[in-house]
Amino acid sequence: MPSPRRLDRALQLASAAAAAAALLLLLGLAAFLLRESAPALREVGLVRLVGDRGWHPTRGAFGMAPLVAASGAVALGALTLALPLALAVAFVRLAYAPPRLAALLRALLQLLAAVPSVVLGFFGLVTVVPLLLAIEPPGASLLAGMVVLALMVLPTLALLIEGALAGLPSGERAAAAALGLARTTVLLHLALPRARGAIGAALLVALGRALGETMAVVLVTGNVVQWPSALLAPVRTLTANLALELPYASGLHRSALFVAGLLLLGATAALLLIASRCGARERWRGAREESARA
């Protein structure tokens, strides 16, 4: 039987090695993206990557701004649709649903979270797109992307928000009960204001997920490179652009696509960083204080 000290060391060593490996992988990924995008950054330059009219990389036009705008529009739109739904689901589960219904809701959410994105994309292509098509062709559009992505981020968002709302300190909960406050009052006026930071963090995590989603978006947004100007007009996101063109691109075209990849990595990293600052850290500190008291 190894001594506890040895065991400790072995675990320490194993986790340190795993952490180092993860860090190395991430650094390697960033270095790879940088190397691959270097030709485009050098020969085309940031100014043209942003300012060129149109995206026709095989003919020397590298304007990526509409793609960036489309990515932002689809992701933000999806959050706008998903947030009220997620809040409603969290409220129902926390305050109104009998335990069995709450458990069923949770199971459904987890199931929805596990649906592969390509399946959601096909669902969008055969249901959402034809519905929108009946309003205005071509149906494949910004709105279709928002709806499908909203479905995709809903489970994560609902579960995270619920966790944040449930974190109301038991003292306050008891005080609220003693005052005879309605559950709705407790949720809206005690739990919600306290959870604001954590909800913000949840939104940022969901935004990162929405920005990075590819397969579902390619299938339903129409993929025409243009500024997102109308809900029912097609747009092309950065990720869709990568999926459509990377397998067939060469030279500067390929390199410009890697710039898009670098951009996505940077955006996601920034979002996660901000998210961890505004929510997760507080939660961590709370947990540590609690364990210190115990």
DSSP 97-123: S-HHHHHHHHHHHHHHHHS-HHHHHHH
**Per CB under 8 A, which of residues 182..241 are in contact with other proteins?**
218-219, 222-225, 234, 236
Query: CB neighbours of 197 closer than 8 A, spacing ≥ 6?
Result: 278, 279, 282
**Per CB under 8 A, which of residues 3..32 are in contact with other proteins?**
3, 5, 9, 12-13, 15-17, 20
Cα-flanking dihedrals φ and ψ of residue 237, to 5°?
Answer: -90, 165
Distance CA 86, CA 205 (A): 14
**Which residues lie across from 235 on neighbouring strands?**
222
The burial of 109, by beta-carbon neighbours within 10 Å (0-12 exposed, 13-18 middle, 19 or more buried), is given as: buried
Residue 293 C-beta: closest distance to other proteins, Å: 25
- Can you point out the beta strands (E) in the chain? 55-56, 61-62
**Residue 279 touches other proteins, criterion: CB under 8 A:** no
Centroid of chain to Cα 34: 23
**Residue 243 touches other proteins, criterion: CB under 8 A:** yes
In the bound state with other proteins, the residue whose beta carbon lies nearer, of 211 and 217, is 217
**Residue 1 touches other proteins, criterion: CB under 8 A:** no
**Residue 129 touches other proteins, criterion: CB under 8 A:** yes
**Per CB under 8 A, which of residues 149..178 are in contact with other proteins?**
none
**Residue 138 touches other proteins, criterion: CB under 8 A:** yes
**Residue 61 touches other proteins, criterion: CB under 8 A:** yes
In the bound state with other proteins, the residue whose beta carbon lies nearer, of 137 and 286, is 137
# residues near other proteins by CB under 8 A:
41
Residue 280 C-beta: closest distance to other proteins, Å: 24
In the bound state with other proteins, the residue whose beta carbon lies nearer, of 209 and 253, is 253
In the bound state with other proteins, the residue whose beta carbon lies nearer, of 17 and 270, is 17
In the bound state with other proteins, the residue whose beta carbon lies nearer, of 250 and 291, is 250
In the bound state with other proteins, the residue whose beta carbon lies nearer, of 20 and 175, is 20
| 55 three-class SS | strand
In the bound state with other proteins, the residue whose beta carbon lies nearer, of 94 and 233, is 233
At CA 62, angle to CA 61 and CA 63, rounded to 5? 105
Chain residues in the site for other proteins (CB under 8 A): 3, 5, 9, 12-13, 15-17, 20, 54-59, 61, 125-126, 129-130, 133, 137-140, 218-219, 222-225, 234, 236, 243-245, 247-250, 253
